[in-house]
Amino acid sequence: MEINKEIFEKLTGIQIAEDANEDTIRTALGERFIDRETHLKEINATFGKARGTAENKLKALIGDEGKGKSFDELVELVPAKMQTLNEQLAAAIEAGKSQPDIEQIKKERDQLREMTEAAKAKEAELLAAVDNAKSDAVKQLEKAQTEAEVTRLFDASNWVDDADAIVKQGVWLTQIQGKYDFRKENGKLLVYDMEGNIVTGGTTSQLTAEQLFEKTLKDTKRYKLNNGGQGQNQKPNTPPVGGKEMNPAVAAAKEAWLAKARAQGIKI
């Protein structure tokens, strides 16, 4: 994933060092989003508590050999301890030991097995939560970068001179939003419909965002011609009420935007 420094820093609040590599950035990004969304401190605290509890229980079950050992070191001793308990159990049964003695050995063996498996499962669960949060963070960054590039390309399209922000928003709301999905692939912003199907726009290949925007502007008569004209097949500007001239295409776009805003309950 190619990192857009400006978008990354705006999205995360993390300043990227000049010599930062992709692994460094991914780690910083993951930790920031874990902290925000899955509470990194809580995960670390739970993880540490789980290991501490397991470590104490393992020491008690393993005995003298476990003194001064860390959790990971204790886990390495478990197979040998399990073998010893199995041997003790077999010997007790062969010697005709009383049932309580046999049950005690079984209990220690089963506790050791269950506790070790539970500790490993908890560790895997917490590590998976961290990995998932990092993965989600990377996806969010990729989505933000794609959306920012789509917006930049849309605004930078070859608009007619009198296409102001309201006109552009009107075109976006009526012609683009909810109809197309944009994905960055092999350095290009490609167009899909909302069901994930490739959009060709009547061409022989998949449309890029730039091609879609150009086609949309031409279809809505808002594409600026090279000779300085306002749009294909447009009529000259006509004066509306109030004496000020307004391009019919501009007026139509503004009306579409206003209608959409009213439908969403926005007061104009």
Q: Are residues 166 and 254 in the same domain?
A: yes
Least confident of 85-94, 141-150, 169-178, 258-267: 258-267
Q: How far apart are CA 25 and CA 64, in angstroms?
A: 45
The conformation of residue 179, written as its DSSP 8-state character, comes to T
The H-assigned helical ranges of 156-228 are 165-171, 209-219
Return the pLDDT at 105. 80
Domain match, 15 and 36 both? yes
* Tens digits of residue pLDDT in 115-137: 777 767 766 776 777 677 667 77
Q: How many domains does the chain have?
A: 2
Query: Is there a single domain that holds both residue 133 and residue 187?
Result: no
Q: What are phi and psi of 154, to 5 degrees?
A: -65, -45
CA distance 13 to 253: 37
Residue 46 exposed, middle or buried by CB count within 10 Å (0-12, 13-18, 19+): middle
* pTM, 2 dp: 0.52
pLDDT, tens digit (0-9, with 9 covering 90-100), for 172-185: 999 999 999 999 88
CA 255 from centre of chain: 36
- Please return the burial class of 233, using the count of CB atoms within 10 Å of its CB with bins 0-12, 13-18 and 19+: exposed
Domain limit, last residue, from 152, 181, 209 = 152
205 and 228 both lie in a single domain: yes
Q: Which domain holds residue 223?
A: 157-263
pLDDT above 60 (res 249): no
- Separation CA 121–CA 102 (nearest Å): 29
